[in-house]
Amino acid sequence: MTEIETVPPAEQARGESLASRVLRIALTERIVLLAVLLVVVVVWFRVLGAGGYLVAPYDLRYLGNALESMVPFALLAVAELYVIVSGRGGIDLSVGAIVSLAGMVFGLMVGVWGWPVLPSIVACIVVGGLLGAVNGALVAYLRFPALIATLATYYAYSSLALVSNANAPVSTPPVVAMHGLTRNITLPLLPPIPLHVFTILLPCAVLAWVVLSRSTYGRSLYAVGTNDIAAGYATVSVSRTRFTAYVVSGLLSGVVALVTVAQFASARPDAGTVGNGMALPAITVAVLGGVAIQGGIGRVGGVLVAALLVTWLNAGMLLAFPEGAEGSRYQLLALGLVLVLSALLNTVALRRYGRLS
């Protein structure tokens, strides 16, 4: 029988050189690395702006306004966090389609059928949860691969969103009035910040953090994602835990549907699927934020800082490449590089240090 000797982290740190310690912290403490990169990005674009290489100032006011585009991607990245942490190849490619379909349901209820706003908001989120439950049933109970199951529902939900109102958006006055949710507010010592950062993003992020870090369900989710066989022996209901992760993903997608309706002042059938869609950027942000694609590892704080980094990076690139769609094309290039590098960093950290936080 071989005895495995373990070295306490404190003793391990004392035996390291300064360079090794910095490398370990950079690889294993993802929030620290992201905070450093965030400062680098802001300083870099500020220098470019001072040199006359940007078409508009990269100042606090601009960065505050850019937070409007961060809200949906940050929420969907948290949704991906739940399903990826649940393990067994967990991923949700249908979040953008759920955004489109739930948004159309909300637009029809408020703008066509004359429902009051508050019950319609609740119904929109519930619809998102039900659509997520279909994904969860396919993956957790019928044992479909998550990639195939959510790709299939992506097509189905996208189609239903398009046919729900004959491919036409709903832009009646009650729906247009939702745009007020995204108006800027001014706080002391801060630049103008979109209202839904405080009313939607932060409450959802805090709730998601509490569930993951302070609840029995959160501990079960990490256990299932790390080793579902061992979790089963520990009397954790693996199927139910994994199913619930997809329901949470659907609920957050329903919230994002409300955000997109407010941003566009219209319920659009392609709100979550137009262009490159919302799913792939959300997965990129989640992996950049330290969510291990193998499951069982990931934190809400890392995902939020990653979303902020990508948002301000994209905002700077739009000012650096003002000609036509050139800026958005370089954004795709940057997003692809970020996904590859972040997945590589996660793999190196797990292999070399056996942990990632």
* More confident of the two residues 258 and 349: 258
Structure tokens at 88: 């067994």
> Would residue 58 count as lying in a domain?
no
In a domain, 135, yes or no: yes
User: How is residue 272 annotated by DSSP?
Assistant: T
**Furthest-apart CA pair in the chain: how many Å?**
74
Reply yes or no on whether the pLDDT at 323 is more than 80: no
Q: How many domains does the chain have?
A: 1
Tokens of 158: 């996208």
Domain that holds residue 97: 64-317+342-354
Q: Is the pLDDT of residue 2 over 60?
A: no
User: Predicted confidence band at 10 (pLDDT cuts at 50, 70, 90)?
Assistant: low
pTM of the complete model? 0.90
- Residue 277 CB contacts under 8 Å (≥ 6 apart), including other chains: 96
Question: Residue 322's pLDDT band (boundaries 50, 70, 90)?
Answer: low
d(CA 224, CA 295): 9
* pLDDT at 326 (0 to 100): 67
Count of all residues that appear for the chain in the document: 357
* pLDDT over 70 percentage in the chain: 94
Structure tokens at 268: 């659009």
Q: How high does pLDDT run on average in the chain?
A: 89
Helices (H) and strands (E) in the chain, counts: 16, 2
Does residue 21 lie within any of the structural domains? no
Residues 6+ apart with CB under 8 A from 209: 300, 301
What span, in angstroms and rounded, lies between the C-alpha atoms of 79 and 253?
7
Predicted pLDDT of residue 1:
36
If pLDDT is split at 50, 70 and 90, which confidence band does 66 have?
A: very high
pLDDT at 350: 78
In a domain, residue 44? The reply is no
pLDDT tens-place string over residues 28-56: 888 888 888 899 999 999 999 998 888 88
**Partners of residue 267 on adjacent β-strands:** 170
**What pLDDT is attached to residue 6?**
44
Tens digits of residue pLDDT in 78-121: 999 999 999 999 999 999 999 999 999 999 999 999 999 999 99
Two structure tokens written together for 175 = 């729906």
Domain membership flag for residue 42: no
| Position 243 in a domain | yes
* Structural domain includes residue 39: no
At 267, is the secondary structure helix, strand, or coil? strand
DSSP 8-state class, residue 283: H
Sorting pLDDT into bands at 50, 70 and 90, what band is 217?
Answer: very high
What pLDDT, in 10s, does the model give residues 234-286?
A: 889 999 999 999 999 999 999 999 999 999 999 999 998 887 789 988 998 99
Residue with the larger pLDDT of the pair 100 and 1: 100
Could you tell me the pLDDT band of residue 189, with boundaries at 50, 70 and 90?
confident
Confidence (pLDDT) at 4: 38
| pLDDT tens for each residue of 304-321 | 999 999 999 989 888 887
Q: Which of 143-157, 208-222, 268-282 has the lowest mean pLDDT?
A: 268-282
pLDDT score for 327: 66
* Within a domain: 86: yes
pLDDT in the model for residue 331: 76
pLDDT of residue 13: 58
